[in-house]
Structure 1
Amino acid sequence: MTYSGSTKKSNVLIIIPAYNEGENIKNIVEELRSGYPQYDYVVINDGSSDDTGKILREQGYNHVTCPINLGIGGAIQTGYQYAKEKGYDVAVQLDGDGQHDPAYIGDIVQPILDDEADYVIGSRFVNKEGFQSSVTRRIGIRFLSALITVLCLRKIKDVTSGFRAVNKFFINAFASSYPIDYPEPEAIMDAVMRRKRIMELPVVMRERETGTSSINLRRSVYYMIKVTLDIIVCRISYGIRR
């Protein structure tokens, strides 16, 4: 890994995983720096093949460059390793495609600062405002939500939301181990099974302005099968450990 180096000035770190987000990353970082300077941030350049790395270097943005593409799970885990190494108390995941509105960072961080939650999910489905994703994806999200409800007796509406904040317990846990492929539902499942305090708060998400999602129809089918199996295996493994 290549670290850009930074001075810690906050107890809250914004982790921004970025893979080929050259068209978006400058806007995202500048929005954070100008509108929310009270938070530290780090961009995880996940082996991008476009000009993402060049932009990060030229603009002097705080970032970590992965020598190869680790995938979303590996990139986020790298962010948590950085947060652990620097001693942050709270970490927030913010996607590098611009869909997560930083105006809601304070909302999802505050319950952790107030010691009311360990894990806070920014959910687009609580108030059902803003960009709601495609019909196909919403069906998949409802299925995974129902699966977690049946297996754990805990209802989480937006199980695929990557907009979330966690406390130091999860910073340390995720720095050591984090799901690799499409990790959001699996990470939530892990938090539920650990019997931690999980809170789901309403946010309004934005539609991606530029670039394209890496999840096509074929990957969506793979996603559903893999995550379903992983969730079931995770539930069984926790049952065996008890």
Structure 2
Amino acid sequence: MPDRPDRVLVIVPAWNEEETLPAVIAEIRHALPGIAVLVVDDGSVDGTARVAEETGVLVAHLPINLGVGAAMRTGFRYASRNGYAVAVQIDADGQHNPEDVPALLALLDAGANIAIGARVAGEGAYTVRGPRRWAMKLLSAVISRIAHTRLTDTTSGFKACDARAIDLFAQTYPAEYLGDTVESLVVAARSRLLIREVGVHMRPRAGGAPSHNPLRSALFLGRAVMALALALTRPRPPRPAERRYEGLGA
């Protein structure tokens, strides 16, 4: 746990996660007491917004489903405007373990601007095969070269960002397909932010249906290559104003 939990914001993008969200929020509060939680309801058509509000966390409402990228940009803007030193993304499906957050914060304390919870470098139920695995390997190889560091899981949504990354993403976080993972890391690397990763424990979804099947895996491969190409052709983003990060004592 950090010494200053009031400087950390957990952002939970949620789309139709009524079934899993209450347990995810309860687990976050148990593992990370005192840390603020912002649920961004991404135009859900079920009871996601209602169950989030019933837990007493902060809730932002998007009028229609805009995707994880737009939901996270909303969270980063809130974090930037309210002076949070760290923003942590935890998905609403129960796969991310809040007990791993201190390991991400330790990377920020060691000088990283972005800390990735790497699924394939850790433990747990996360396995990928076929086209999806090929795409992940290709993306990791290319982005590792751009970021000048070895990364194994550039499509992980389990991340912690320091103040510099928060302010950058509040302005530029991509909303397109895979923008919240692949393109955001390209944006960060081209802005000279330091990216590091640590292995985490990945769990099965706590509810709902997984999105992977052979057809979708093949589509993922093609879309991933297109997303990477688009990210590399965009102009370099402006560097945000410096906001000093003093560490949290995780």
**What TM bracket, shorter-length normalisation?**
0.7 to 0.9
Is residue 197 from structure 1 mapped to residue 194 from structure 2 by the alignment? yes
Shift of 1:150: 5.5
1:5 counterpart residue number: none
Is residue 157 from structure 1 mapped to residue 156 from structure 2 by the alignment? no
Q: Partners of 2:63 and 2:234 in 1: how far apart?
A: 33
Is residue 118 from structure 1 mapped to residue 120 from structure 2 by the alignment? no
Shift of 1:145: 1.4
* 146-155 or 57-66: bigger deviation: 146-155
Deviations 1:156-210 (A, max 9, x none): 1001110011111111111112121222011112222222211111111111121
The runs of at least 4 consecutive aligned structure 1 residues that moved more than 6 Å come to none
User: Structure 1's 12 and 157: CA in aligned 2 closer, same or farther, altered over 3 A?
Assistant: same
Q: What count of residue pairs does the alignment treat as equivalent? A: 231
Q: Partners of 2:233 and 2:174 in 1: how far apart?
A: 16
**Structure 1 unaligned spans of 5+:** 1-7
Task: Give the structure-1-normalised TM-score.
Answer: 0.86
Shift of 1:221: 3.9
One-letter amino acid matched to 1:132: Y
Shift of 1:146: 2.5
Is residue 29 from structure 1 mapped to residue 25 from structure 2 by the alignment? yes
> Where in structure 2 are the equivalents of 1:101-140 lying within 5 Å?
101-112=97-108, 114-127=109-122, 129-136=123-130, 137-140=132-135
Is residue 40 from structure 1 mapped to residue 36 from structure 2 by the alignment? yes
**Structure 2 unaligned spans of 5+:** 239-250
Task: Give the structure-2-normalised TM-score.
Answer: 0.83
1:96 counterpart residue number: 92
One-letter amino acid matched to 1:211: G
> Where in structure 2 are the equivalents of 1:179-190 lying within 5 Å?
179-180=174-175, 181-182=177-178, 183-190=180-187
Selected match of 2:222 from 211, 220, 225: 225
One-letter amino acid matched to 1:24: T
> Where in structure 2 are the equivalents of 1:206-225 lying within 5 Å?
206-214=203-211, 217-225=214-222
* 229-238 or 135-144: bigger deviation: 229-238
Q: Cα RMSD over matched residues?
A: 2.4
Percent of matched pairs sharing the same residue: 35
